[in-house]
Amino acid sequence: MSYIYEAIDRAKEVIVASFSNIEEKYKDVFALIDAIWNVQLHRPLHAAGYYLKLEFYNANPNVEQDEEVM
């Protein structure tokens, strides 16, 4: 399940790029993603799994500052 954190982050990056970094165009999409994420997907155990998975930890040096994970 720890892969879902990375997948969501990558999906959001693609969405931002596809809307040319214009927040007005993608903010409603992010609101929907975040609502589903908060209700159904985000769990402390999954966050711990993401934090401890070295392939994600090494790829993201700022993981310790990520409020969603910490």
Domain positions in the chain are 2-65
**pLDDT in the model for residue 60:** 59
Distance CA 20, CA 31 (A): 18
pLDDT tens, residue by residue, 23-46: 999 999 999 999 988 787 666 766
C-beta separation of 29 from 39 below 8 A: no
Mean pLDDT of the chain: 77
**pLDDT in the model for residue 58:** 54
9 confidence band (pLDDT: 50, 70, 90):
confident
Contact partners, residue 62, CB within 8 Å, separation at least 6:
none
Give the phi and the psi of residue 18 in degrees, each rounded to 5. Answer: -70, -25
**Left if phi > 0, otherwise alpha if psi is -120 to 50, otherwise beta: which for 20?**
left
